[in-house]
Structures are given as C-alpha cells and as structure tokens.
Structure 1
Amino acid sequence: MIKNNLKKLRGDLNQKTVADSIGITQQQYSYIERSDRMPSLEVALKLSDFFKKPMEEIFFTFKDNKQLSDISQKEVV
C-alpha cells in the first residue's frame, strides 16, 4: 500500500489551511492524507513545494513490497 507522511508534516496546521494553500478542497486533502486517493502529479508537486520536502519524503512508503502498479487501484484527485 502506498502511504504518505502528510499528517506528520502538517503538524499543528489544520487540513483546510494546507488545502487552501495548494488549491484543493479540505475533503480532497483529507482523502490524500488518509491514503484513500493518490494525488495528481500537480497536487503532489504543490505539496512538495508547500512542505519544502521532496516527493519521495512525502509519498511512496511501501508496505509488504507492493509495486507502483498498485497506484492504479487508487482514484487520483
């Protein structure tokens, strides 16, 4: 499963603040943070810029040696 570190990176900020800053809804951000949906490349790049972290530090933590092809099973926001 593809996971992310968004909740940890968000710290004391609320989801709406992050979502507004990158131009998506709070609900979309919540889906991404919970790993219910994968962000589009554009949104992933905006998150990377917002948190000043490379995408590899935010996304792509693999569990059980799953492959990137598992991404296709998630809806893209």
Structure 2
Amino acid sequence: MKNQILLTLRGQKSRASVAKDLRITPQGLGLIERGERIPRPILMKRIADYYGKTVDEIFFDDK
C-alpha cells in the first residue's frame, strides 16, 4: 500500500533531492513511498524530523 502521506509531504521536491537530504538512495525512498519497504525505526525518525511530523503521523496513522 502506498504511503500517500509521504508522497504528499514530498510534494514537488524530487525524490533524488529528498533522498540525498535523508542520506538514502532514491530507490530506497521510492520503495518506502510505495509501501514495498518498511524503514528501520532510526530512518523513520529521520524522515519524520525532515518533514516536521511524528513517526506515528507518517507511518502509523490509519486516516
């Protein structure tokens, strides 16, 4: 299942630029955004901090 929240948060930024900021590969970010990979907790926290959200809001909110 796609992580629509991540896609919305990324907006018009390129996957490559966000991945570079997060210190991961664009392919890895794509896997996370498509729901094909669940990141480790440390990466979840880094992503949440990057977007100014909580880990729960991005990865565990059922809305």
Aligned residues: 63
Runs of 5+ consecutive residues of structure 1 not aligned to the other structure: 63-77
AA in 2 matched with 1:49: D
Assess if the C-alpha contact under 8 Å between 2:32 and 2:38 holds in 1.
yes
Larger Cα Rg: Structure 1 or Structure 2? 1
AA in 2 matched with 1:56: D
1:61 is displaced (CA, Å) by: 3.9
Alignment of 1:1-77 (within 5 A): 3=3, 5-62=5-62
What is the alpha-carbon distance in structure 1 between the residues aligned to residue 8 and residue 2 of structure 2? 16
Which structure's residues are more often strand, by fraction?
1
Which structure's residues are more often helix, by fraction?
2
Deviations 1:20-65, CA, capped at 9 Å, x for gaps: 0011000000000000000011111110110000111111244xxx
Look up the SS of the partner of 2:60 in the other structure.
strand
What is the alpha-carbon distance in structure 2 between the residues aligned to residue 60 and residue 53 of structure 1? 12
Length-normalised TM-score, structure 2? 0.86
